[in-house]
Amino acid sequence: MFHAVTQPLRAAQRFGRNSLETARTLITGKSAVTGTAPQSFVRNEDGNIAIIFALTAAVSCFMVGGAVDIGRAYSVRTKMQNALDAASLAAASAYINDPAHNETNALAIATKFFNASMTGVTGATMTTSPINASTQTVRLTAQASVQTPFLKAASAVTLVASTFDFSSITMTATSVTSATQSQTGGSNDVEMVMMLDTTGSMGWDSGDGTSKISALRTAATNFVNILIPDAGVPHVKIGIVPFAPQVAVSDSLAQTLTGQPLTKTVTLASTCGSYNTTCAAYRNNGSCRTWNTLPNTCTGYLSRCMIDRSGTEAQTETSPLSGGTAFLPAQWASDLATATTCTPSQQVMPLTTSKSTLTGMISTLTANGSTSGALGTAWAWYMLSPTWNQNSIFTGSQAPVAYNTPKLKKIAVLMTDGEYNCAASDVNGNCTNTDTAANNLRAVALCNGMKAKGIEVYTIGFKLDVQVAIDTLSSCATDADHFFQATDAAALDAAFKAIAYRSVPLHVME
């Protein structure tokens, strides 16, 4: 019995001594028996890799996690910038198209757009600034706090945790939208032609002590100043058609449009006079009461004063260089002074971006003559028509581009103060066709032709007191919102400004 008990005890004692020696060796690196490190233990380096991997894995986790946090933050900023741009564009459009220019309503629309676009993003707020009324500029700012759990965890186990707060990142964005400022490097987005009434009635009082023509000069100048900036690349080209019984053009344009030289030998009674041939009727005393006459032959001077087309092309944009009846009517004067003296005297100005050229011409407008409104309407179309940019009619920067060009609008602004009471005139500007009804119908037909080509038509009636004139302009306009009735100089200026702000493209500047 004793032997059976003592054997297990001794075995346990030996096991205990061996375990202690093994533990001592692991701690000190030396054998408890020999006092030296076992060679097999010294040569074993397998654990180093595990330690290095553990350390680098932790750093890698923090780096990947931080990248995820930062990526999320910039994703929120991108979304916020897009939302802010949409909000500023909406506010600017609302402000410009509101005749009252209600700033509160415009900024409320901006807030609505921003909040709708930022659905699902917490902590994003937008701040508005007062709208700049003179430049129609809207400025908005926004910020959002984005939680960063990985960066927070990383900072918690480093010394920076007590110095910097990595629990979130604040992202900011700004958007500035303007209708009147240019965008450097941009392109022209609008081709616009103003038809301006310079007839005799424009010399009458405008309702505030100044003449209507003076009020027009002020309003048209303000219109140009809004649309064409002093610096940078403008987004608008503007042309001007001053009209009365005639439309004046340059020497070269007169030749191109009529297919005639500046001078030639003509046999025309209206130009050269006539001579008597035989007696057609006698008096009782035998003297001749009425003579048969024939026109004299003389040098005729081509008139630079264009009149209405007739025939099949009277209501079309057909290029004069199509030949035949497409040419504009040629009239001949017996002297150069008559040939170059038109009513109005200011020549049409094809599309240009030169503010000084446009405002300089506007400043010279005077009032005289009858109202060939269909003629003015036709010329507004001609200067916007791509069919007129061929064969040296309008070329280079003056040439209108093709219809339906992407991101480009064509706009006609037709302004008059009365009914269209003249449909044709002689070389001296005297009206020879006073069929008002036919002239107004032709004007509407020309407007319908423009609208069918995608041209936006605005009309402005200045102190109109005849229903047929109101009906003509109302029918010509693209819709009711494109027809303005101005009762005085201030209302005329407001109408031109409203059209300018509606027409110009909105641009996000920042």
pLDDT in tens, the chain (510 residues): 334 334 433 443 443 444 444 434 433 444 444 455 455 444 555 556 656 655 565 556 666 666 777 888 888 898 889 888 888 888 887 887 676 788 999 899 889 888 888 877 888 899 999 988 777 789 999 998 887 776 677 666 555 444 556 677 888 999 998 765 443 334 458 999 999 999 999 999 988 889 999 999 999 999 998 888 776 667 899 999 999 999 999 999 999 999 999 999 988 888 888 888 889 999 999 899 999 888 889 899 999 999 998 888 889 999 888 766 688 999 999 999 999 999 999 999 999 999 999 999 999 999 999 999 999 999 999 999 999 886 668 888 899 999 999 888 999 999 999 999 998 888 888 988 888 888 999 999 999 999 999 999 999 999 998 999 999 999 999 999 899 999 999 999 989 988 887 887 666 766
d(CA 328, CA 342): 16
d(CA 376, CA 379): 5
What pLDDT shows up at residue 62?
62
**What's 196's DSSP letter?**
E
Contacts of 73 (CB under 8 A, 6+ apart): 146, 148, 169, 171
Instruction: Give burial (CB, 10 Å; 0-12/13-18/19+) of 356.
Output: exposed
- Report CA torsion sign: 87, 92, 97, 101: positive
For residues 369 and 245, the answer to whether their CB atoms sit within 8 Å is: yes
The DSSP line for 213-262 is HHHHHHHHHHHHHHHS-SSS--SEEEEEEEESS-EE--HHHHHHHHT--S
What pLDDT shows up at residue 472?
96
Instruction: Check whether the bond before 242 is cis (ω within 30° of 0).
Output: no
For residues 171 and 77, the answer to whether their CB atoms sit within 8 Å is: yes
Contacts of 146 (CB under 8 A, 6+ apart): 69, 72, 73, 76, 123, 168, 169, 170, 171
Q: Which residue type occupies 128?
A: T
d(CA 469, CA 48): 97
User: Bridge partners of 300?
Assistant: 264
d(CA 427, CA 241): 19
The DSSP line for 92-142 is HHHHHH-TT--HHHHHHHHHHHHHHHTTT-TTEEEEE---BTTTTEEEEEE
For residues 388 and 434, the answer to whether their CB atoms sit within 8 Å is: no
For residues 415 and 196, the answer to whether their CB atoms sit within 8 Å is: yes
**Angle subtended at Cα 437 by Cα 433 and Cα 440, rounded to the nearest 5 degrees:** 95
What pLDDT shows up at residue 51?
61
Q: For residue range 100-146, list pLDDT tens digits in order.
A: 788 999 899 889 888 888 877 888 899 999 988 777 789 999 998 88
Instruction: Pull the structure tokens for residue 15.
Output: 């096991």
Q: Which residue has the tokens 């930062």?
A: 70
**What's 480's DSSP letter?**
G
Which long-range CB contacts under 8 A does 41-46 form with residues at least 24 apart? none
* Closest-CA residue to 399 (of 413, 423, 383): 383
The conformational region for residue 479 under phi > 0 = left, psi -120 to 50 = alpha, else beta, is beta
**Angle subtended at Cα 206 by Cα 200 and Cα 209, rounded to the nearest 5 degrees:** 115
d(CA 184, CA 170): 31
CB atoms near residue 368 (< 10 Å): 16
Contacts of 353 (CB under 8 A, 6+ apart): 188, 228, 234, 236, 237, 238, 397
Instruction: Pull the structure tokens for residue 357.
Output: 């050229």
* Closest-CA residue to 384 (of 364, 345, 412, 420): 412
d(CA 152, CA 218): 63
What pLDDT shows up at residue 411?
97
Distances in Å between the alpha carbon of 394 and those of 252, 303, 319, 323, 409? Answer: 11, 20, 11, 17, 18
**What's 157's DSSP letter?**
T
Top-tier CATH class for 190-258+307-329+336-508: alpha beta
For residues 126 and 140, the answer to whether their CB atoms sit within 8 Å is: yes
